[in-house]
Amino acid sequence: MSLTQKSATEQLALLQSGELTSVELTQAYLDRIQAVDSSVGAFLRIETESALAQAAGIDARRAAGQPVGKLAGLPVAIKDILCTKDTPTTCGSKMLENFVPPYNATVVEKLLAADAVILGRTNMDEFAMGSSTENSAYHPTKNPWDTTRIPGGSSGGAAACISADMAPLSVGTDTGGSIRQPAALCGCVGLKPTYGRVSRYGLIAFASSLDQIGPLARTVEDAALLLEVLAGHDPLDSTSVNAPAPAYSETVNQPLENLTLGVVDHHFGEGIDPEIVSAVQKAIEVYESLGATIKHIEMPHADYGVATYYIIAPCEASSNLARYDGVHYGYRADQAEVMAELAEDGSDEGPLVRMYRKTRSEGFGPEVQRRIMLGTYALSEGYYDAFYLKALKVRRLIRQDYDNAFAEVDMIIGPVTSNPAFAQGEKNSDPMAMYLEDLYTVTANLAGVAGISLPCGFTENGLPIGLQLQAAPFEEEKLLRAAQMFQTATDFHTRRPELS
Amino acid sequence: MSDAPYEIVIGLEAHVQLKTQTKLFCRCSTEFGNPPNTQTCPVCLGMPGSLPVMNKKAYFLGMKTALALNCGIPKFTKWDRKNYFYPDLPKGYQTSQFDLPMSEEGYLDIKSLKDEFEPRRVRIIRAHLEEDAGKSMHDEASGKADSRIDLNRTGTPLLEIVSYPDMRSAAEAKTYMQELRLLLTYLDVSDCNMQEGSLRCDANVNLHIPTENGTIATPIVEIKNMNSFRSVERGIAYEAKRQYDVWQETGKVLGELPKQTRGWDDSAQVTRSQREKEESADYRYFPCPDLVPVVVTDEQIEAVRSEIGELPATLRERLTSDFGLTSYTADVVVNQGRELVDYFLELAAASGDNKLAGNWVQGEVLRILNDQEITIDQFRISAGQLAELLQLITSGDLDSSKAKDVFAVMLDSGKSAAEVVQDLGIEKVDESALEDLCRLLVERNQRVVDDVKSGNQKAVGALIGQAKKENPNVNPGQVRQICLEIINNL
Amino acid sequence: MSLTRQDVEKVALLARLKFDDDQLDKMTSHMVQIIQYVDKLSELNTDDVEPMAHALDINNALAEDEPRPSLPREEALRNAPKRDDECFLVPAVLGE
């Protein structure tokens, strides 16, 4: 097994024992990226120099017997949505092509404090809006298992870099499934923590009440290790919960006794690929063989999740993205062109208003504009009650479904997606078809509960299939232990895509 | 206004910058007057990824003000976003409070010092917290040049106090703003400087005009840019006349025109229509997902209430009922601010004569403060020193005209009343010597004696003049009293 | 619920976006499709349901009123598309 195929936990042990230096490890990943990323496109930027410098510094400190952080020397890839001081942060958008934040996101601070080596920035759907990473303003990312297919999204680069061994750990964000869906389609582990578990300070907002940062990794153990560093209270985020973050990596290998898993029969209804049904059902049998009890439960409002989500998320987005107006940072339309355009169409619109409109129409891609339009419409006078307020009420019903379920079972087990990775371009012209991809993932965001996706099989064509476990708020520890039980009993996570 | 053929209806929206050290949602300084864009951070710049955290002090200062305005404090309040695009609003929305404000339903009583209107209770709809915008600066002279944006002020905490349309004249509106400012000053919650913009107000104005077919209402106009109490009064008065003229010309009534916004141009003394927006305002308010609600307990509310202290209305009442001041004097003293009230209270206690203390504060002390444009804490004579002077008056050692001379010297020299009396050679005339002098004068002026005996007490004044010639230090009051006694005993 | 091209044009102005004729047609048809789908929420009776704006029930995240250093002006203005030494610059803002 090559160095980059080892898990982060194994690599960390080698670093700690002195058998491996961070510079060696970092260089190995830089070489791997050099070799395969041209066919995957997981990264937007590779930070070779700073990564090697950071690695050398950590090696020196470790060699001198000085204290080092929890992840000391492990490379980490960061989704290009987390602000990093003095380093471009684009959010996959032309709007922020030249944006250089003057501050660090809290999780970036935490990673630096843990002595993680920042390898580079991963590709994503523009402003995290999308399920295929085709909405990146820079280039699409491809699925390492089949480069004619999409890797999922919006954290497509974050999942693809793990799956193609270009990073041992990566940080993504999940607003409606943006960690779990690409993890499922790329065959890696992705965890969306409970809303409030990880600070959102410095995460470029898509939908503030749904966004959450989480880890992607090859193994559940590695995800536990990274979550441990990311989680915790942050006084800079009012929605961050003031509760201690457990040492997940220390308990992840303890199996759960008397585990009760809930199965929603509805999840296996119309529209889901039979190969996925069969893989997930086999996974359920694995849990049964490990002593888990299976209970059939109802989630009566789950079918309304996508509709609820595609009101709430665009509403919040329309407001969150109002700041991109070409005044204080980011892209601005050419002033001479603005004036020429105004003169040409004889509009009485002021130059400022036209500057805003031209800037935003040129700086945002079509999917982002569509969601801004939807949200603006749904919040506007006369429609607020029918759309936004209605959606907030259904959101409550969905949360109640979860509360009722977790009164009966420890976790809900089911699929992540209804289909394996689809072909590039397949759903581009049909936004609604793309939105329905989020069926199984959006409800966790709406309710604020934790969810994890882990590999549970492959299609005949060799495409990965994901298994989703969802747990009650702040039960990440149990979620990781249950997921680890599955990985201990199976080997899906050890398979590798063939990349030339 | 009683002779005008209409009634003006006015509601005011006051914006008060609260006296916090830091902004509402970040910890940048709120200090006024620093170079542009030196008080910003990722949060108040609206940088991608930044998040707001509510300033605790701003919330409690807001609550203190609301309680002083007799508002109710709901136990639960939340934050909403008001969405609109403007260059001095970097996030593209203002964080404010929409459907669940931090306080509602209060009132402020106003009355006119000059009896311009009947005392009135102006009801308050709500007072809520919101963030201030930055400043757009445009040099009109340079024509097409860009506007410059300074975000130092962005995010400064504002309390917006919205009144019911309860005022009926420009003078009432001005007095409301003055009374509000006084209250805020007593509460010490704001600098209340209208020029610096820490107290601002917009007025919603329309007219009720009686016609043969019943009373009609003119379309409501919002007046902005009134940066002094005088401009509040003049702007509204101008707008009322303008609305009446427009109504006579067009006959348009409420509902037939959209609400218009006009700016007060202080140099031209007119209101001008502000550039019509491209669309009717649709702020798309919705709950801010980045901020969590504030929940308060009865104990917290009572603790804030107990910090409020004596407010202008209560103080005026106390100064008239307990200290015997006229309502006018009490108003004058209280309206100058808490420091002058404290000066008065100390003076009254030390001098032992409430009324005399009131007269001196309202008269001499205020005259000096106004002439020298200083505040009471810069005034050279302490309440204790002034009390010594007043005691000399009460004891009859000084008459009021001499006391004023002494006061003037005390002010220049910083010396005590006793020292100045000595320096000026003002000596109290010995009682028996004074009586001898009075007897002599009575003997010399039989005509005065006859006049007094026949009931003209004023005639004794001639003797006072003569006494002063004989001895400049005599107290005229004493001379009058002794002479009258002698004559009456003749 | 019907949504016309004119409605979409109005929303575009509110959102400060601008579309040419083709884009407007496409946007209208996509929005109609999505709005028809999300309208399925009207099947549910939610009369007695409390709206849920936050995913978690926490209150009173309040910070002390203690100043922290602001950004140096150069940092604040660094990303501005147009600026002078002190300020952000925008096309003339007239009136208020």
Query: At which residue do the structure tokens 């940048």 appear?
Result: B28
Half-sphere exposure of residue B35: CA atoms within 13 angstroms, side-chain side = 8
Residue C67 to residue B27, Cβ atoms within 8 A: yes
> What share of chain B has pLDDT > 70, as a percent?
97
Three-class SS string for A210-275? Answer: CCEEEEEECCHHHHHHHHHHHECCCCCCCCCCCCCCCCHHHHCCCCCCCCEEEEEHHHHCCCCCHH
How many Cβ contacts (< 8 angstroms) between chains B and C? 127
A208 is a catalytic site residue: no
Identify the burial level of A258 via C-beta atoms within 10 angstroms of its C-beta, where 0-12 means exposed, 13-18 middle and 19 or more buried.
exposed
For chain B, how many structural domains are there in total?
3
Note whether B327 and B449 are same-domain residues.
no
- Our CA-based measurement puts residue B21 at a distance from the nearest CA of chain C, in whole angstroms, of 6
**Which of the residues A22, A93, A154, A163 is marked catalytic?**
A154
Give the residue, A380 or B467, on which the prediction is more confident: A380
* Burial (Cβ within 10 Å: 0-12, 13-18, ≥19) of residue A282: middle
Percent of chain B clearing pLDDT 90 (strictly above): 63
Reported confidence tier of residue C96, pLDDT bands at 50, 70, 90: very low
Q: What is the pLDDT of residue B431?
A: 76
Domain boundary among B399, B423, B447: B423
Alpha-carbon distances, residue A336 vs A351, A354, C16, C19 (angstroms): 10, 12, 19, 19
Cα separation, B386 vs A60, whole angstroms: 77
Cα–Cα distances in Å, from B441 out to B397, B468, B470?
A: 21, 11, 10
- Which of C1, C8, C41 shows the shortest C-beta gap to A394? C41
Instruction: Name residue A427's amino acid.
Output: K
- Which residue range(s) make up the domain with A184? 3-260+411-494
Chain-centre distance for alpha carbon B417: 33
Q: Which stretches of chain C sit within 8 Å of chain B by CB?
A: 10, 13-14, 16, 53-54, 58-68, 70-71, 73, 76-77, 82, 84, 86-96
In-domain check, residue A451: yes
Same domain? For B413 and B443 the reply is no
Distance from CA of B138 to the nearest CA of A (A): 13
pLDDT at B1: 44
The tally of CA atoms less than 13 A away on the side-chain side of residue A84 is 22
User: Which one-letter DSSP state was computed for residue B143?
Assistant: T
Residue B62 included in any domain: yes
Residues B281 and B320 in one domain: no
- Based on the fold, state whether residues B384 and B290 are members of the same structural domain: no
Last residue of a domain, one of B370, B400, B423: B423
Q: What pLDDT does residue B376 have?
A: 92
Top pLDDT among A178 and B445 is at A178
Question: CATH number for the domain including B471?
Answer: 1.10.10
pLDDT in tens, B223-271: 999 999 999 999 999 999 999 999 999 999 998 888 889 999 999 999 9
C22 to chain A, minimum CA–CA distance in Å? 13
What is the span of the domain harbouring residue B471?
431-489
Q: Please check whether residues B322 and B380 belong to one and the same domain.
A: yes
| A488 within some domain | yes
Q: Quick one: B278 and B314 in the same domain?
A: no
Question: Cβ of C41 and A446 within 8 Å?
Answer: no
Contact A431 C46 (CB under 8 A): no
For the residues of A62-83, what is the DSSP string, one character each?
Answer: HHTT----TTTT-EEEEETTB-
CB contact under 8 A, A379 and B83: yes
Residue B275: closest C-alpha in chain C: C95
Q: Quote ipTM for the complex.
A: 0.96
List A7, A93, A155, A178, catalytic entry: A178
| CA A340 – CA B2 distance, rounded (Å) | 56
Closest of B134, B177, B183, B138 to residue B155, by C-alpha: B134
pLDDT at B335 over 80: yes
Distance set, CA A265 to CA A261, A437, A457, B13, B105 (Å): 13, 18, 20, 57, 53
Measured CA to CA, the distance from residue B378 to residue B381 in angstroms comes to 9
Q: β-strand A260-264 against A293-297: which pairing, if any?
A: parallel
Q: What is the pLDDT along chain A (500 residues), one digit of tens a residue?
A: 899 999 999 999 999 999 999 999 999 999 999 999 999 999 999 999 999 999 999 999 999 999 999 999 999 999 999 999 999 999 999 999 999 999 999 999 999 999 999 999 999 999 999 999 999 999 999 999 999 999 999 999 999 999 999 999 999 999 999 999 999 999 999 999 999 999 999 999 999 999 999 999 999 999 999 999 999 999 999 999 998 889 999 999 999 999 999 999 988 988 899 999 999 999 999 999 999 999 999 999 999 999 999 999 999 999 999 999 999 999 999 999 999 999 998 888 889 999 999 999 999 999 999 999 999 999 999 999 999 999 999 999 999 999 999 999 999 999 999 999 999 999 888 899 899 989 999 999 999 999 999 999 999 999 999 999 999 999 999 999 999 999 999 999 999 999 86
* Contact assessment for residue A315 and residue B80, using Cβ atoms and an 8 Å cutoff: no
B51, B149, B284 ranked by CB distance to A376: nearest? B284
**CA gap B23, B134 in Å, rounded:** 12
8 Å CB contact of C55 and A445: yes
The CATH number for A122's domain is: 3.90.1300.10
Is A391 among the domain residues?
Answer: no
Angle between helices B476-489 and B431-444 (to 10 degrees): 60
Q: What is the pLDDT of residue A490?
A: 98
Per the listing, tokens 């709206």 go with C51
Which residue among A210, A351, A354 places its CB closest to the CB of C92? A351
Residue B280's pLDDT is: 63
Confidence label for B349 from pLDDT (cuts 50, 70 and 90):
very high
CB-nearest to B53 from A235, A328, A353 is A235
* Residue B152 and residue B31 share a domain: yes
CA distance A88 to chain B (A): 12
Rounded Cα distance, A221 and A253, in Å: 8
What residues of chain C, 33 to 72, have a C-beta less than 8 Å from chain A?
33-35, 37-42, 44, 46, 49-56, 58, 61, 63, 71
Answer yes or no: is B416 within a domain.
yes
Quote the CA–CA distance of A79 and A92 in Å, as a whole number: 9
- E strands, A340-449, in order: 411-415
Active site residue A178: yes
Question: Residues of B with CB below 8 A from A357's CB?
Answer: none
Does the distance separating the beta carbons of C90 and B29 come in below 8 Å? no
- Would residue B224 count as lying in a domain? no
Is residue A350 included in any domain, yes or no?
no
Between B443 and B301, the higher pLDDT residue: B301
Check: CB of residue B389 under 8 Å from CB of residue B383. no
User: How far is B276 from B44, CA to CA, in rounded Å?
Assistant: 28
One domain, residues B322 and B191: no
Cα torsion A437, A442, A443, A444: sign: positive
The answer to whether C73 contacts B138, with C-beta atoms less than 8 Å apart, is no
* Residue C94 C-alpha, separation from nearest chain A C-alpha, in angstroms: 9
Last residue of a domain, one of B397, B423, B449: B423
> Is A142 one of the annotated active-site residues of the chain?
no
CA gap A96, A81 in Å, rounded: 10
With H, G, I as helix, E, B as strand and everything else as coil, classify residue B65. helix
B28–C94: do the CB atoms touch at under 8 Å?
Answer: no
pLDDT at residue B144, as a whole number? 60
Whether the Cβ atoms of residue B170 and residue B236 lie closer than 8 Å to each other? yes
pLDDT in tens, B395-424: 888 888 888 888 989 988 888 888 888 888
Q: How far apart are CA C19 and CA B57, in angstroms?
A: 46
The size of the A-B interface in CB pairs under 8 A is: 109
- Could you give the percent of chain C with pLDDT greater than 70? 96
Instruction: Say how far apart CA C65 and CA B56 lie, in whole Å.
Output: 7
Q: Does residue B58 or residue B487 have the better pLDDT?
A: B58
Q: Indicate if B155 and B285 belong to the same structural domain.
A: yes
Cα–Cα dist A248/A227, whole Å: 7
- E strands present in B66-134: 76-77, 80-83, 93-96, 103-110, 120-131
What is the residue whose two structure tokens read 């990311």?
A230
Rounded to the nearest angstrom, the minimum Cα separation between B23 and chain A is 14
- The number of folded domains in chain A is 1
State the DSSP string of A450-491: EEEEEEEEE-TTS-EEEEEEEESTT-HHHHHHHHHHHHHH--
Within 8 A of B35 by CB-CB distance, chain C residues are: 73, 86
Look at residue A97 and tell me if it is in a domain: yes
Average pLDDT over residues B183-202: 93
In a domain, B237, yes or no: no
Q: What percent of chain C has pLDDT over 90?
A: 89
Tell me the pairing of strands C88-90 and B120-131: unpaired
- Sequence-distant (≥ 6) Cβ neighbours of residue C36 within 8 angstroms: C1
Residues B289 and B314 in one domain: no
**pLDDT reported for residue A479:** 98
**CB spacing of B21 vs C88 below 8 angstroms:** no
Cβ–Cβ of C93/B39 closer than 8 Å? Answer: no
pLDDT tier for residue B275 given thresholds of 50, 70 and 90: low
